[in-house]
């Protein structure tokens, strides 16, 4: 399943909407995604699964690239 991860680039950053970035990661669960991203310095705000219409909408974005870690 594909998950959308909202994050700040560094763990020390306070979450601010204007600085929030997102990536798409392929994984089995939210726990699996957190484990895969644990080595990166990200301050993860929120992880949401994408399926159905929401996945189709995100795929229309030209920046849609799924990380397979």
> Where residue 52 falls among pLDDT bands split at 50, 70, 90?
very high
Note whether 2 and 22 are within 8 A (CB): no
CATH class of residue range 2-67: alpha beta
Average pLDDT over residues 32-40: 95
pLDDT at 48 over 90: yes
Note whether 23 and 12 are within 8 A (CB): no
Average pLDDT over residues 53-61: 94
In terms of Cα–Cα distance, which of 69, 63, 68 is closest to 21?
63
- The secondary structure of residue 27, as a DSSP letter, is -
Average pLDDT over residues 34-40: 95
- Write down the pLDDT at residue 36: 96
49's enclosing H/E stretch is strand 43-50
pLDDT at 11 over 90: no
């Amino acid at each position: 399943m594909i998950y959308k991860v909202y994050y700040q680039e560094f763990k020390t950053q306070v979450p601010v909407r204007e600085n929030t970035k997102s990536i798409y990661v392929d994984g089995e669960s939210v726990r699996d995604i957190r484990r895969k991203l644990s080595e990166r310095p990200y301050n993860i705000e929120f992880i949401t699964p994408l399926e159905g219409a929401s996945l189709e909408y995100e795929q229309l974005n030209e920046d849609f690239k799924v990380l397979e870690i």
